[in-house]
Structure 1
């Protein structure tokens, strides 16, 4: 028995090692796939086209895909169709009665909603692939026939998106953390060396103050994000007295932690895709007429422009409230507290508790939405004001910091649960040996 104890502990840490290795292998596969081009495209001509466009509209989409859009690889449209389909299904499950009933059925209902989400991903990916193929074909960088290029592009891009969706699910199940968030984070990290190179190149040209100011600002903004993401609003919870034998025991007081940013990184991601979609269409269809209305509208929606800043901030705030309302139900939480014999001190269980929790969440969501909007817009404004010759994204910084913190928490909780299981087995073995 004594020889079995260390092996149990080692097996737990061995499982953690296997999960980390699987995660690393999956991310390597993702990076390899981002360099596999769609057939029928002249890569050199496409690179010149991307550089000449300035990247003002396409840079954020290129960032989410890990540079795949610039190379027009099989992962060019990335995982965004799956994220969009997931949010659409979550909204539909709150409106459509049949989907709402499925949501309440537990695991079986969740599997059906997941199946619908995959179908929606295929539809959205097909539409985006067709649009991407039409745009690339119109630029004169295609070396294949039109129908052959359209067919191969749609098949490759849709397959790439579905593969990324499957890879993200495998990371969530067999690795650590949320697979979709980690794939997006890996794409952002992959673009950091080129950004650092541009920053160093800017310093070598004589502008030493600008790179230093950008570096100090990025560090301060990172500290601010970490500080706010660690902030919590603790709502005190008291459990009813319970009788154990002849004594009445008072359960210890506890609390419910609520994060200031309850919506996470979903609002800026979805807001970016919502704004960039019409902006990209205006740029494509208005490019032939420089003095046309479409071209002027596309100019108003460029990064750093007042219209873009106001619209981006309003969209982020809207999706903060929208997504928080989807993932959090005050009435359901109040009912669960009532069933478990818990209550908020000074608040009656039931309807009053539900209204109190809703009030707390609305206040947190307001300040959380302002915080996300400020973090995402500060780099946008500074890039325009300081005439930085490359793109700085607050959304990428927010995603990078939040996902990294969540990944660290996942590792800590996994190690703690492994140690707890190990201690429980040791105590059981000791009790059996005494008998």
Structure 2
């Protein structure tokens, strides 16, 4: 599919313009990653981050594409926007007003998006101020302070700078979605992860040269990476198709319905959200121990790579898979819409029984999806401990990279198909006009 798309891009000026726009906006984002926040000793900060592997800082740095490690203007990345989006998705279930807005179509979605933007700015200000307070109390391993001139002025400046950076990234993501190709927010996270992979590959070869990783281990790592990517591609496209039939209806002289179709249920309905939430919860104790050294002995059993860490990680992933799927997928609404339009599942009564059947099938396939995400996310820990491989070769990073790649390529293919249909219709209309 990729080679077919690349061959036809040059034939579609509109598609080529969208792709160029996407690359330019992502390039602007990558430039901002290297602009530091005022008042920070970058050398001391880099030294501090080298000692923070396996904590929440490392995970934030991965999703920000290295911006958090430099404490650039984009240090908070797009995570506040994702957090705000998830909060409003959860509130939609609990607050009737938001639930009503979600059912009002495009107008309601725009209103919820507006609320999400406001919440993102507020979260960014709080997080930026909290980071500024934390940085003032941090020192590099050599004893050098990270903040050059601590005080209220630095806290306010840092909070405003980081919140402005997040707002700008949010705007970039919306522009990519509107004027480019693919989902802008996902592509920004994708770009941040991919930008750091060359360094991970380089470090791996340095470890091979130094004798820390054997040649056989390197080959084994490559085989595992290919296998994980293949498994992700297969599982992300896997579906459970429930057959649906629509009864015939006669309206005037026209007959509607009588169609046999299916209801596609993805094996991994929740996407990469469970892995992100589970990582955040488990990384928090390790990060807290850095600010309270007395807790290190008590929290050592949750260190990444330990047995207890992996057990809790899998448990949290499974919990969030079911929880998030229940939030975003509504069997009752689907069953009601099917009944309203004369649709039914063969052998199942419309209405409540259909909702129960869909929920039962969804629960079963979510078990498979949760086990799949757990296996992919635990793999980096095994690689890191057994083969000394970099973190980027698996886990959440590969889930995001492969998933976004699949979605983007699908949008490119869909765009070309729609353009081909437009060309066909234009040709058809020309022929009709010629006949008359």
TM-score, normalised to structure 2, is 0.90
Aligned to 1:127: 126
Shift of 1:228: 1.4
Aligned to 2:312: 311
Distance 2:126 2:284 in 1: 12
Distance 1:63 1:85 in 2: 19
CA 1:388–1:426 in structure 2 vs 1: closer, same or farther (change >3 Å)? closer
CA 1:59–1:38 in structure 2 vs 1: closer, same or farther (change >3 Å)? same
Deviations 1:148-182 (A, max 9, x none): 32122111111111111111111111111111111
Match status 1:421 vs 2:404? no
Aligned to 2:204: 199
Which of 201-210 and 15-24 deviates more?
A: 201-210
Aligned to 2:29: 30
Q: CA RMSD in A?
A: 2.3
Distance 1:230 1:253 in 2: 22
CA 1:244–1:133 in structure 2 vs 1: closer, same or farther (change >3 Å)? closer
Where structure 1 has 5 or more consecutive residues not aligned to the other structure, the ranges are 1-8
CA 1:379–1:434 in structure 2 vs 1: closer, same or farther (change >3 Å)? same
CA contact (8 A) 2:55 2:283 kept: no
Aligned to 1:6: none
Distance 2:300 2:132 in 1: 24
CA 1:409–1:328 in structure 2 vs 1: closer, same or farther (change >3 Å)? same
Aligned to 2:369: 368
Aligned to 2:39: 40
Deviations 1:68-97 (A, max 9, x none): 111111111111111111111110110112
Matches for 1:103-182 after TM superposition, within 5 Å = 103-138=102-137, 139=139, 140-182=145-187
Deviations 1:91-146 (A, max 9, x none): 01101122212222222222221122112212221222122212222221222242
Distance 1:247 1:142 in 2: 74
Which of 259-268 and 240-249 deviates more?
A: 240-249
Distance 1:234 1:427 in 2: 35
Matches for 1:189-228 after TM superposition, within 5 Å = 189-206=194-211, 207-228=214-235
Aligned to 2:322: 321
Distance 1:401 1:97 in 2: 36
CA contact (8 A) 1:203 1:210 kept: no
Aligned to 1:13: 12
CA contact (8 A) 1:237 1:342 kept: yes
Aligned to 1:405: 406
Distance 1:246 1:35 in 2: 66
CA contact (8 A) 1:261 1:365 kept: yes
Distance 1:106 1:72 in 2: 39
CA contact (8 A) 1:78 1:161 kept: yes
Aligned to 2:3: none
* SS in structure 1 at match of 2:321: helix
TM-score, normalised to structure 1, is 0.91
Match status 1:341 vs 2:348? no
CA contact (8 A) 2:66 2:196 kept: yes
Aligned to 2:188: 183
CA contact (8 A) 1:12 1:418 kept: no
Aligned to 1:331: 332
CA contact (8 A) 2:54 2:304 kept: no
Aligned to 2:435: 434
Match status 1:286 vs 2:259? no
| Aligned residue pairs, count | 421
CA contact (8 A) 2:376 2:394 kept: no
* SS in structure 1 at match of 2:47: helix
CA 1:232–1:95 in structure 2 vs 1: closer, same or farther (change >3 Å)? same
CA 1:21–1:203 in structure 2 vs 1: closer, same or farther (change >3 Å)? same
CA contact (8 A) 1:84 1:270 kept: no
CA 1:11–1:420 in structure 2 vs 1: closer, same or farther (change >3 Å)? farther
* SS in structure 2 at match of 1:236: strand
Shift of 1:252: 4.2
CA 1:298–1:121 in structure 2 vs 1: closer, same or farther (change >3 Å)? farther
Aligned to 2:278: 271
Shift of 1:273: 2.9
Shift of 1:246: 8.8
CA 1:163–1:431 in structure 2 vs 1: closer, same or farther (change >3 Å)? same
CA contact (8 A) 1:57 1:303 kept: no
CA 1:334–1:126 in structure 2 vs 1: closer, same or farther (change >3 Å)? same
Aligned to 1:80: 79
Which of 143-152 and 82-91 deviates more?
A: 143-152
Deviations 1:324-380 (A, max 9, x none): 122211111112212222211111221111111111111111111111111111111
CA 1:218–1:267 in structure 2 vs 1: closer, same or farther (change >3 Å)? same
CA contact (8 A) 2:56 2:284 kept: no
